[in-house]
Amino acid sequence: MRYLEQLPRFAFFTGKGGVGKTSLACATALRLADAGLRVLLVSTDPASNVGQVFDLQIGNQITPVPQVPGLWALEIDPQAAAQAYRDRIAGPVRGVLPSEVVKSIEEQLSGACTTEIAAFDEFTGLLTDAALEQRFDHVLFDTAPTGHTIRLLQLPGAWDSFLEAGKGDASCLGPLAGLEKQRSQYKAAVQALADPARSRLILVARAQASSQREVARTHDELVHVGLSRQHLVINGLMPASEAPLDALAAAVLRREQAALAAMPAVLRELPRDEIALMPFDLVGLAALRQLLDAGDAGASSTSPPPLPDAAPALAGEAAPSLAQLVDGLAAPGHGLIMVMGKGGVGKTSLAAALALELARRGLPVHLSTSDPAAHLSDTLAGELGVDPGLFSVSRIDPQRETQRYREQVLATKGKGLDAQGRAMLEEDLRSPCTEEIAVFQAFSRIIREAGRKFVVMDTAPTGHTLLLLDATGAYHREIARQMEGTGLHYTTPMMQLQDSSRTKVLIVTLAENTPVQEAAGLQQDLRRAGIEPWAWIINNSVAATGARSALLRARAAKEQPFIEAVARQHAVRYALVPLLAEEPVGADKLQALLGRRPD
């Protein structure tokens, strides 16, 4: 594997959700530890599943992996980090300052901004901790899906610049109180990220046009941050040996080869490794070791490892289709539909397919996304075949929304200020915390439209979405506190999400162990927030295709217990969507996701 050659101390695995970052990071950590090196594997994903891969409870502390001498793991838990951060800032002033002041500080520390700062604080600490440098030869970062990772890797510079010029009473004064004390740590983190002798970025992608476009964008954005030493890994390639055995395998192989041939030029210039699609879940030490063995042999020149015995694939015709779910969704004539789940499960394609089908039925639809890395325009390529007056598309762009919010505040709160006061307000609005407020306001503005039309929201991967819901809950609590005792009627975005007659949440998963476990965890989080999911969608199911290739049959057999778990344990209603021979891009191919043939 070329990316392992002269591997620096820090390595970051990043890419679009679902491309195999966690599996590759875990397999790399295992290989380095097997070679006698001392390795720390860190997950910065708010929805980490490193523990599931090793069948080990890890959490927010450095934990040895018992079966692998020389390997330790850490999952940065944003909520635990935020609580520790709050205690560190607010704890010393309790009983010292007046209770109103302490309460004000605690309120400032209650939002998602504090969660982001606390996770960032731990991340930069790992890059600069001299004791860890003595203890470990390598620190590997299994990062969150692309948009969240870009944000994380940009933060050291963003916060350092803000603190360098910072003055004025920031809206997130409480969180910033702790940051000011660690400016030197952030400068050191920036230097570590920018040094190719110390840091390497491993871009993980699939042989898909959308995955490669996103990786190319990631490459450009992170070069500006200073991570210039980059390698590319194309994961999950269909072995050529499967193509003569099955029409679906042959179609997938053709699709992948075409995508590789059309790879963006900036990626073709990078050192590249290719890894074959495995017939089994990448959970457990034996499976992880086989992953890199296949990569060493070369994905295009080798057959996959020996297949396990495969039971007959589940008959896809017996499971509900996505079209059947649309019948229930369309009945009220309007409402909010939120499509949620782990990165890489196909939320964007499914949200687009649902929105187009509703518009084809003559219903007004606004399709939007809150995913920083989503690109609906790529999915909706070509002629859509719906009335343009019924169908609109938008994206919550954090940078644009932040700029809009700054201009709004300056035009209102800054209107009567003198030059010094306005300068202080502008400085306050340069805080990265401002983005949290701006994105929440955009989200609230869009979902209000659901009273007169359908709003289909393609959400960010699970962890990022939960942070947005955390901001929604914090806003609800503040409004409820202000309105208490007034007798006035009010409705907050959280109240809209909790109202099942107005909001339907669809949880998307794959028929695999980790995505189903994470989807079940998301459902529990939603229920704790008073939000009851309406349905589950199992996407990209091989079991629903009737494939005959030995590799695909093996994968279909592995899917069956997870399909049954969704149908019998987790979901009130569900739909099974087959793996398509062609990538679902454009109106006709999106319509194929519904379980109907295009007209």
Tell me which residues are annotated as active site: 18, 20-23, 45, 514
Contact 40, 62 (CB under 8 A): yes
User: How would you class 194 by CB atoms within 10 Å of its CB: exposed for 0-12, middle for 13-18, buried for 19 or more?
Assistant: middle
Question: Measured between alpha carbons, how far is residue 135 from residues 5, 13, 488 in Å?
Answer: 22, 21, 60
Helix (H) / strand (E) containing 283: none
What is the distance between the alpha carbons of residues 386 and 389, in angstroms, rounded to a whole number?
Answer: 9
**Which residues contact residue 424 at a Cβ distance below 8 angstroms, ignoring those fewer than 6 apart?**
167, 168, 169
End-to-end CA distance of the chain: 46
- Residue 341 pairs with which residues in a beta bridge? 508
User: Per residue in 357-370, is it b (16+ CB within 10 Å) or e — as a string?
Assistant: bbbbeebbbbbbbb
Quote the tokens at residue 1: 């594997």
Q: Could you give the strand order of the β-sheet that contains 391-395, starting from the edge strand earlier in sequence?
A: 391-395, 365-369, 454-458, 335-341, 503-510, 535-541, 574-578
3-state secondary structure of 586: coil
What is the distance between the alpha carbons of residues 458 and 506, in angstroms, rounded to a whole number?
Answer: 10
Contact 557, 247 (CB under 8 A): no
What is the distance between the alpha carbons of residues 438 and 415, in angstroms, rounded to a whole number?
Answer: 19
Quote the tokens at residue 272: 């590249």
